[in-house]
């Protein structure tokens, strides 16, 4: 999964869904918050990758300059054998991975996003081993909070087919938009002022991670 929509717009095939812009999404109610697009799959060339439950998947970002903020990874069942043609705005999303403040303080600490940059702009997550088989979207999201009280959401999605003998549905679930609140103090945040800058804990937005 590589974030490079220009290639997709040239008509190349990809498991990644085409996305609308390199610019951040800045509102928790933005209509494109599910997958940084209008919810649709590629008009042509949309692929899907088969992956076994319990296996790892890595997202690669073409370029990424920011190091302050959490990394979040979601999945959503498309309810069939493919997600092609399924509108991502209608799906229910559950979280499979997250990483926020790793050490230090909010104003001067190490973040999951910094770890992504250190790992050559990549992030590896595990597909839950108990997840039931079927077609899923995976949603990889970076929330940059380096600008005071101006969160920047960067979600990207790709299409998967999960195999295995798992029987569980991912929970708890949220909708996008709808999964975040504009008044969440960890979204509407100024990391440079006290007392916020001295906090040694950061509550990652969204639901808890699916326990499996």
CA 126 – CA 135 distance, rounded (Å): 16
Report pLDDT for 11: 61
Q: Determine what percent of the chain is predicted with pLDDT higher than 70.
A: 93
Angle at CA 205, nearest 5°, toward 200 and 38?
A: 145
Q: Lowest mean pLDDT: which of 28-42, 68-82, 120-134, 150-164?
A: 28-42
CA dihedral 66, 67, 70, 75 (to 10 degrees): 60
Report pLDDT for 113: 98
Q: What is the mean pLDDT of the chain?
A: 93
Q: What is the DSSP letter of 197?
A: G
Question: How does pLDDT run across 66-79, given as a tens digit for each residue?
Answer: 999 999 999 999 99
Cα 2 vs. chain centroid, distance in angstroms?
Answer: 13
Domain ranges, ordered by start, for the chain: 2-198
Report pLDDT for 188: 98
Identify the band that residue 21 occupies on the pLDDT scale cut at 50, 70 and 90.
Answer: confident
Residue 211, C-beta contacts closer than 8 angstroms, at least 6 positions apart: none
Question: How does pLDDT run across 160-207, given as a tens digit for each residue?
Answer: 999 999 999 999 999 999 999 999 999 999 999 999 999 999 999 999
Segment 125-137 mean pLDDT: 98
Segment 114-137 mean pLDDT: 98
Question: How does pLDDT run across 55-65, given as a tens digit for each residue?
Answer: 999 999 988 99
As to burial, measured by CB atoms within 10 angstroms (0-12 exposed, 13-18 middle, 19+ buried), residue 70 is buried
Contact 158, 16 (CB under 8 A): yes
Nearest to 205 by CA among 37, 68, 24, 70: 70
Contact 143, 67 (CB under 8 A): no
Q: And the tokens for 86?
A: 């399924």
Segment 80-99 mean pLDDT: 96
CA 144 – CA 147 distance, rounded (Å): 8
Segment 27-52 mean pLDDT: 90
Q: For 19, what's the count of Cα atoms within 13 Å in the CB-facing half-sphere?
A: 25
pTM above 0.85, yes or no: yes
**Is CATH 1.10.10.60 correct for 2-198?**
no
Identify the band that residue 44 occupies on the pLDDT scale cut at 50, 70 and 90.
Answer: confident
Q: Where do the DSSP E strands lie in the chain? A: 2-3, 49-52, 56-61, 71-77, 93-99, 101-104, 109-111, 122-126, 134-144, 152-163
């Amino acid at each position: 999964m590589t974030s490079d929509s220009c290639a997709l717009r040239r008509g190349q095939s990809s498991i990644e869904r085409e996305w609308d812009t390199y610019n951040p999404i800045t509102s928790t109610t933005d209509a494109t918050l599910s997958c940084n697009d209008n919810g649709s799959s590629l008009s042509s060339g949309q692929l899907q990758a088969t992956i076994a439950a319990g296996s790892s998947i890595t997202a690669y970002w073409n370029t990424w300059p920011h190091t302050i903020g959490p990394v979040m990874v979601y999945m959503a069942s498309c309810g069939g054998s493919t997600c092609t043609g399924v509108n991502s705005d209608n799906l229910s999303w559950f979280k499979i991975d997250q990483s926020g403040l790793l050490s230090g303080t909010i104003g001067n600490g190490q973040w999951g996003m910094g770890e992504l940059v250190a790992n050559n702009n990549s992030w590896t997550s595990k597909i839950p081993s108990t997840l039931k088989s079927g077609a899923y979207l995976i949603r990889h999201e970076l929330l940059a909070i380096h600008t005071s009280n101006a969160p920047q959401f960067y979600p990207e999605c790709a299409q998967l087919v999960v195999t295995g003998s798992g029987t569980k549905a991912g929970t708890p679930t949220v909708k996008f938009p709808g999964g975040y609140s504009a008044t969440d103090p960890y979204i509407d945040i100024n990391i440079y002022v006290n007392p916020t800058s001295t906090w040694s804990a950061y509550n990652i937005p969204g639901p808890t991670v699916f326990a499996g």
